[in-house]
Amino acid sequence: MKFSNLIVVVAVLSIGQSFASDLSPNSTERQTPEQRLVAPTLDFVRAEQYENNPGGATTHDRVINADAFSFPSRNMSFDRQLDFQIGNSIFTRLWVTAPSSTKTNDGLGPLFNARGCQSCHVKDGRGHPPEGEHDDRVSMLFRLSIPPKTAEHRRLLSQKLVNSINEPTYGGQLQDVSVPGLKPEARVQIDYDETEIALNGGDVAVLRRPTYRITDLSYGEIDEKVMISPRIAPQMIGLGLLESIDANDIIRQADPHDKNGDGISGKANVVWNSETNSIALGRFGLKAGVATLNLQNQGAFNGDIGLSTPLVLNHHGDCTDNQPDCLKMPTGQEANEPEISQELVSALLHYTRNLAVPKRRGVSDPDVLEGKKLFYQSGCIGCHTPKYITATNDDLPELSHQLIWPYTDMLLHDMGEGLADNRPESLANGREWRTPPLWGVGLTEVVNGHTYFLHDGRARSILEAILWHGGEAEQAKDKVVQMTPDQRKKLLTFVNSL
């Protein structure tokens, strides 16, 4: 994907400064025909043209079942579909401990969270927090960092060479699984406190607030100022389309100082792109802390599974100098090569770029249309931007120049103290999160058998997720609280149709 030079300019401007006025989304005189096409609709009597194909021509129209998130882009050629299947075999592969007779599959760990991509992103879908004492926690992980303590820490952060400073003993991620002969780093205990929320019309919702405790530390004390951020594995559909949105179309929506006075002040995250050795717009991760899908994939290989890649050459994964036993364990490295070859990385990238978004359901249903109107009128589209036209890219024909409906602005927003993890990530502070795309959200139960949402899965329904919104989304949340029960039902019907 080729971005314009504007991204570098905006990356500099976004650090404590406002964006140039000519990027204002309110400047209708300067809108292009494409910008007018993707402007929010004012007609809620009928569905918009092409609205039932949220991924444009990539949208699949297969039967909706547990495999709904696992189909390739519909407009893909036969040869590229074969490449997609190769990528799928890597995504579903379970890696083994080195040394092994199957050299192409070894190198796991030594410390890790999962044995494969599919272990967390089950059926290419959403993970969940543990359900009960003995539930498998593999689809939930915990990021770790500490405040900067040295001049070198501050230099790395200021130059965007790192997003955060790793905890010195346990690294940037807590690993609760290990290879034989080595202890896992720790365990995390989760406790919930429940609070009732009164809704207009006599309805009552119950929200649960999690508390996290790290126990059974195997490698000594953890830093007293450690910051912990729980993360649930997100769904995988439409990622290539999100990467194909022109950077200008994302940046144009940013209003970090809320100059238009609507209470929403989204900002772009700025991160280091090790593919180009330059700063770039953050797009991926729950705080937009990663510039490209390729970097997201390779980072997950290393941090989650403990495998080295061409861009992340830590053969012992997230082991630190304070874990000498971990650093002594054998790896799958051969001849100074990464454990995951460039060929495998490229095949996985093709796969993750082309997991298709399913066709919408019921776009013309009167309740869906009424719910859509309420969604717009409540101000939800202030962050959940409905649609874009992806950039033209001859190298990615399936994803090029598509009208898509992801319902995200890809920007960071202050979501209030209730959802704060209090852990910064580059320009994202401890209260800010990237707006998640909503396409496919209504199929979570079909694909994954649960309805856990938000970054840590605390919400057990879409309504609970909405009621956790605070900060910039407080006004929109309050409007949902004040709706009649029938209106809330229609709003949720619309969201579930996405």
The ranges assigned to domains in the chain are: 6-497
pLDDT at 9 over 50: no
pLDDT of residue 138: 75
| The pair of three-digit structure tokens given for residue 133, joined into one six-digit string | 């004492």
List, in sequence order, every residue forming a beta bridge with 72; answer none if it has no partner.
355
pLDDT of residue 25: 41
How does pLDDT run across 117-157, given as a tens digit for each residue? 999 999 999 999 988 766 666 799 999 999 999 999 999 99
pLDDT of residue 45: 97
- Residue identified by tokens 């389309």 is 241
How does pLDDT run across 194-235, given as a tens digit for each residue? 999 999 999 999 999 999 999 999 999 999 999 999 999 999
Give the pLDDT band (50/70/90) at residue 29.
low
The residue-averaged pLDDT of 313-319 equals 92
Half-sphere exposure of 50 (CA within 13 A, CB side): 17
Half-sphere exposure of 10 (CA within 13 A, CB side): 29
The residue-averaged pLDDT of 360-366 equals 98
Give the pLDDT band (50/70/90) at residue 105.
confident
The residue-averaged pLDDT of 431-451 equals 97
Give the pLDDT band (50/70/90) at residue 23.
very low
Cα(32)–Cα(279) distance, rounded to whole angstroms?
Answer: 28
- Provide the phi-psi class of 73: left if phi over 0, else alpha when psi is between -120 and 50, else beta: beta
Give the pLDDT band (50/70/90) at residue 21.
very low
The residue-averaged pLDDT of 372-392 equals 97
pLDDT at 26 over 90: no
Instruction: Identify residue 41 by its one-letter amino acid code.
Output: T
The residue-averaged pLDDT of 82-110 equals 92
Comparing CA positions, the residue from 438, 399, 428, 380 lying closest to residue 246 is: 399
Mean pLDDT across the chain: 92
